[in-house]
């Protein structure tokens, strides 16, 4: 099969990659669409020392499921953490922090930029018929946005600033709008500003925001500069939510965080069922965020485009 293979921070399109061999409890899935996200781009910069098939955002159809044949032919998305179910973290319900976990396309488990891939059956979620592939492929990313209000009660009276209006940031903006909070999104380019205008969400430039102006600041830029700005904007006793994953070190003024008694929350994967429900109800606009779509045969070109400033979601198609 064709697949995008990452090795020593170099991505290549390979043909003749063997089909995945299923272990107990796993399903084989034919990929329909897969999305390139910021984490994939950071993987090319060495976010994790990974060798294998990259990618974790997908929608596909189950073609083999020896332990649950009723799933065959069903359209699915899936959670990306592969967990053991036996360690102390799993037994406490923290499966996303399994002590032995692998992560789809990121850590010790081949990903979805291939014609076929596998996942444990327990990771799969059925896609409603009314949610088309171009929406369903955003499920994992939207779930990550939904993790913020799951971790933190955001009140309608809160002043919230979102730093970053990229692939994830624009989904976070739409989710946070639903809370009724006084939301502003920091932008650098006109394209996301136009999109935010369409959605009725306030956007600002960083230079126009005073220090310590927000009860909650969400950092979603994937850059050291974005973190520094976010730390400047959060008020004393406020909350700083970190959504970015990126390679490299960041300068952090820990003394200021301590003196100002700032709550810092790391935020990662979120509720997939809830994300599908928002997509089914039409409460989130994902189609406007699709910049381009490429067949797997042009997967390298897809990645080159995704690296460009201002480009949002680039999809890779596996359907003939």
Give the rounded percent of residues in the chain with a pLDDT score beyond 70.
99
CATH of the domain at 240: 3.40.50.720
CA nearest neighbour of 54 among 93, 1, 9, 22: 9
Confidence band of 313 (pLDDT split at 50, 70, 90): very high
Max CA pair span of the chain: 58
**One-character DSSP codes across 69-102:** GGGTT-EEEE-SEE--S-SHHHHTT-GGG-TT-E
- pLDDT tens readout for residues 4-13: 999 999 999 9
CATH of the domain at 118: 3.90.180.10
Crossing angle between the packed helical segments 272-281 and 139-151, to the nearest 10 degrees: 110
Same domain flag for 131 and 146 = no
Residues facing 117 on adjacent strands? 29
The answer to whether residue 170 sits within a structural domain is: yes
What pLDDT digit, counting tens, does each position of 180-226 carry? 999 999 999 999 999 999 999 999 999 999 999 999 999 999 888 89
**What pLDDT score was predicted for residue 247?**
60
For residue 298, give its domain range. 3-138+286-317
Worst-scoring range by mean pLDDT, 18-32, 162-176, 219-233? 219-233
The per-residue pLDDT for 256 is 86
Residue 320 confidence (pLDDT) above 70: no
What mean pLDDT comes out for the span 115-136?
A: 97
How high is the pLDDT of residue 14? 96
Q: Is pLDDT at 48 greater than 90 in this prediction?
A: no
Can you tell me the distance from the alpha carbon of 79 to that of 59, in angstroms, rounded to the nearest whole number?
11
Q: Could you tell me the end-to-end alpha-carbon distance of the chain, in angstroms, rounded to an integer?
A: 14
């Amino acid at each position: 099969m064709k697949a995008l293979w990452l090795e020593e921070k170099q991505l290549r399109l390979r043909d003749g990659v063997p089909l995945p061999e299923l272990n107990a409890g796993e399903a084989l899935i034919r990929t329909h669409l897969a999305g390139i996200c910021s984490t994939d781009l950071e993987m090319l910069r060495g976010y994790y020392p990974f060798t294998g098939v990259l990618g974790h955002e997908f929608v596909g159809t189950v073609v083999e499921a020896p332990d649950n044949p009723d799933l065959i032919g069903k359209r699915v998305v899936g959670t990306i953490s592969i967990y053991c179910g036996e360690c102390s973290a799993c037994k406490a319900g923290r499966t996303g922090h399994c002590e032995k976990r692998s992560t789809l396309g990121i850590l010790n488990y081949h990903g979805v930029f291939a014609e076929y891939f596998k996942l444990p059956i327990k990771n799969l979620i059925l896609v409603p018929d009314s949610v088309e592939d171009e929406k369903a492929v955003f499920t994992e990313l939207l779930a990550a946005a939904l993790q913020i209000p799951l971790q933190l009660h955001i009140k309608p009276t809160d002043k919230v600033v979102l730093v970053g209006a990229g692939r994830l940031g624009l989904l976070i903006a739409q989710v946070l709008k639903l809370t009724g909070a006084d939301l502003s999104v920091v932008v650098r380019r006109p394209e996301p500003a136009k999109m935010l205008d369409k959605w009725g969400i306030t956007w600002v430039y960083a230079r126009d925001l005073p220090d310590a102006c927000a009860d909650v600041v969400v950092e979603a830029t994937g850059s050291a500069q974005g973190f520094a700005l976010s730390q400047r904007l959060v008020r004393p006793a406020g909350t700083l939510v970190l959504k970015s994953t990126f390679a490299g070190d960041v300068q952090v003024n820990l003394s200021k965080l301590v003196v100002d008694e700032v709550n810092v929350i790391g935020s990662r994967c979120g509720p997939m069922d809830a994300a599908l429900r928002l997509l089914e109800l039409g409460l989130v606009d994902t189609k406007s965020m699709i910049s381009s779509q490429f067949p797997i045969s042009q997967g390298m070109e897809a990645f080159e485009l995704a690296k460009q400033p201002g480009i949002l979601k680039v999809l890779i198609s596996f359907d003939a």
